[in-house]
Amino acid sequence: MMRGAHTPRMTACAAALALLMSMAPSGPPVLAQSAARAGDTTIRPFRINVPDDVLADLKARLRNPRIPAPLQGDGWQLGTDTAYLRQLVTYWRDSFDWRAQERRLNAMEQFTTTIDGLSLHFVHRKAKQPGAFPLLVTHGWPGSFAEFTKIIGPLTDPVAHGGLAADAFDVVMPSIPGFTFSEAPTAAGYDPARIATIEAALMARLGYQRYGAQGGDWGSIISTQVAARDAAHVAGLHLNMCTGAAPAGADPEAGLTDAEKARLKVRQTFQNEETGYQQIQGTKPQTIGIALNDSPVALAAWIVEKFRTWCDCNGNPETIFTKDELLTNITLYWVTQTAASSARIYYESRHPTSAPVPGRIEVPTACADFPKEIIWSPRRWLEARYNVTRWTEMPRGGHFAAMEQPQLLVDDVRAFFRTVR
């Protein structure tokens, strides 16, 4: 996520974007930690089954939260609204049914396989129609593969959801290394480009020689790197976080409409007021990770604030997300102890070790432009880096498109990939 063109400082995502332009705690009890043996290409079925003692420990930690008193009337201005947090924690402790959510997640076909020394968790659902087009879908932070429960059905079985059989996809949804059930690296060097090579290797292992890539947030950055590094096999790139640097050597606002200039100001306000987490996770991820790994209340506060701020919800997250949806995602981070390892992607993007891939991305690219997306660039900027063949201005929606506006996202994905299948 980048700062405005006039701002010299770099955020964590800006470092990742620079990479684009130029080219965990030990032994979590429920991580999919296989023996990551060199040369092991086995694809192993996987089901979530969090031990009872992990859930009991979580409830015990939620019994006596130490939530500080707020300033009078501060609401969400200084961070997470403490009154809302108390309600969420109470619901998490007393009413949230993890086993029901576990069953819902296990309805998605899950697997692990070892790539680049790590056990990689992924969802892989094949369409009922033979010869369906393969689609690689990548999440971001602070999300997870659970973001995609509303779109996997329409993508893989369009007929059952009012669509056309010809639009069916075989869907592959990996968990980024260090997120939820994908093993966390124990050494530095897993920047977005290296993660992209892991994902490309996964698609090859599954037998897909031609496929599409889709993503938002870090999924946008990683998918871009997949298109750059595996261009011979990527037929199309679809992004719902469309960001790029201003063309070099030019006035960054030259040729922009008044509406585009106004939106850049909104983005700059976000960078000025809402990116403290980037600085922390991009510089000292272990410090914040220790706190989040030890306190479920801290973890909830850290994550729910992002869902509320980044969505198109007019300040009330529960107009878009249910408590169960929010807490399922938070609980995934808790039970896998991946708060620290997932935060490290911000640090890795600031200290990339992968060789850059120069030049413009010629893979046909689509942007689904949701109006409340927090990290946004004008189409003119994107066209300097990408071969933009489709740009859809959405009527509503924010950063978490697959959860907020699943039908709009699915419709745009279908329409774009009809042109490149």
184 located within any domain: yes
Residue 346 a catalytic site member? yes
- Distance, CA of 67 to CA of 55 (rounded, Å): 21
Is-catalytic flag, 230? no
Q: Which amino acid is at 93?
A: R
Where residue 341 falls (left for φ over 0; alpha for ψ -120 to 50; beta otherwise) is alpha
And the tokens for 388?
């933009």
Give the tokens for residue 27. Answer: 């032994």
**CA separation for the pair 308, 76 (Å, rounded):** 9
* Active-site residue identified among 346, 347, 386, 412: 346
* Catalytic residue of the set 124, 139, 233, 399: 399
- pTM over cut 0.75: yes
In the chain, the amino acid numbered 188 is A
Tokens representing residue 30 in the block: 């429920």
Residue 4 lies in a domain: no
Count how many domains the chain has. Answer: 1
- CA–CA distance, 377 with 321 (Å, rounded to integer): 26
**Phi, psi (degrees; rounded to nearest 5) at 197:** -65, -30
In a domain, 139, yes or no: yes
- Alpha-carbon distance of 324 to 302, in angstroms, equals 17
Name 388's bridge partners. 365
Residue 294 is a catalytic residue: no
For residue 4, the model assigns a pLDDT of 35
Catalytic residue among 81, 217, 312, 412: 217
Q: What does the alpha-carbon distance between residue 98 and residue 92 come to, in Å, rounded to a whole number?
A: 9
Under a CB-based contact definition with an 8 Å cutoff, are residues 237 and 361 in contact? yes
Give the pLDDT confidence score for residue 248 in this predicted structure. Answer: 83
Is 2 a member of any domain? Answer: no
Does the N-terminal peptide bond of residue 8 adopt cis geometry, omega within 30 degrees of 0? no
In angstroms, rounded to a whole number, what is the distance separating the alpha carbons of residues 33 and 52?
19
- Alpha-helical runs (H) found in 95-238: 98-106, 152-156, 192-205, 218-229
Report which DSSP code applies to 170. Answer: E
Length of the chain counted residue by residue: 421
Distance CA(421)–CA(417), nearest Å, equals 6
The one-letter amino acid at 322: T
Q: Return the amino acid letter for 28.
A: P
Mean pLDDT by 10 residues, the chain (421 residues): 36 41 40 57 98 98 95 91 97 98 98 98 96 98 98 98 97 98 97 98 98 98 98 98 88 93 95 96 98 98 98 97 98 98 98 92 98 96 96 98 98 98 95
DSSP string for 365-394: EEEEE-TT-SS---HHHHHHHEEEEEEEE-
Neighbours of 358 (CB within 10 A): 9
**Domain around 388:** 12-418
Q: Tokens at residue 342, please?
A: 């997932």
Helices (H) then strands (E): counts for the chain: 16, 9
- CATH number for the domain spanning 312: value is 3.40.50.1820
